[in-house]
Amino acid sequence: MTTSSNPIARMWRTVLPRTGSVARASDRVQAGLLVFAVLLALAALPVAASVGSETYARQQGESAQQIGERMRVTATLLADGPEITANSRAGVVGNGRPTDATWTLPDGTRRVGKIVADQGKLKGETLTVWVDRAGTPVDPPLSGAGVVIDAVVLGLGLWLGALALLALCYRLAVFSLDRFRFAQWQQEWFHELDRKTRS
């Protein structure tokens, strides 16, 4: 690849033109905007990483608290779960629904309530469920993998969102500069035609 075909070298020569450069003021503005957008994108990276890191630390604490407050127990269905039905569009089995069940806490206390049973589950079948200290069914605690995934997705999503916004602003600026350059070129063209007509 030659130096003249390298876009980074071209942009650098536009920002800092050599003697006799044909770069217009609008070209320098465009190159300056691109440099500014790249610098902002680089500056947004540690900010997004910081947000992801804070999210990780916060959710890790929540995960540890939930693991300490929740426990797994084996529940026995007191009724059949929902019948198996296929989604006509996707051809997949639908979600479960609350079904009567009973479970025993570690201290021997027996509880009766509703848990979400998958389709096709029958009375007497057992399921593993999470309960809080009072024995009430709750969602499973945040897992270590879930905490990492949430933090990475949030940090990366913020950074990609910033990149998309910067790219949009840059493209709008370039569009405006292109319209300005075209109008300027058209004015110069008419001026030249007028000069030739008079001479």
- Each domain of the chain, given as residue ranges in start order, spans 3-64+145-198, 71-140
Side chain identity at 46, as an amino acid letter? P
Task: State the pLDDT at residue 119.
Answer: 82
Task: State the pLDDT at residue 181.
Answer: 83
Digits of tens for pLDDT over the chain (199 positions)? 444 556 666 666 666 656 556 667 777 788 888 889 999 999 999 999 999 999 999 999 999 999 888 999 999 999 888 877 765 555 555 577 888 999 999 888 899 999 888 888 888 899 999 999 888 999 899 888 989 999 999 999 999 999 999 999 999 998 988 888 888 788 778 777 777 777 6
Task: State the pLDDT at residue 3.
Answer: 47
Task: State the pLDDT at residue 47.
Answer: 95
CB-CB neighbours of 89 under 10 Å: 6
Half-sphere exposure of residue 110: CA atoms within 13 angstroms, side-chain side:
4
Q: Using CB atoms within 10 Å of the CB of residue 52, give its burial: 0 to 12 exposed, 13 to 18 middle, 19+ buried.
A: buried
Task: State the pLDDT at residue 43.
Answer: 95
CA separation for the pair 14, 6 (Å, rounded) = 12
Q: Tokens representing 105?
A: 């806490």
Task: State the pLDDT at residue 20.
Answer: 57
The contacts found for 20-28 with CB under 8 angstroms, 24 or more apart, are 24/181, 26/177, 26/180, 26/181, 26/184
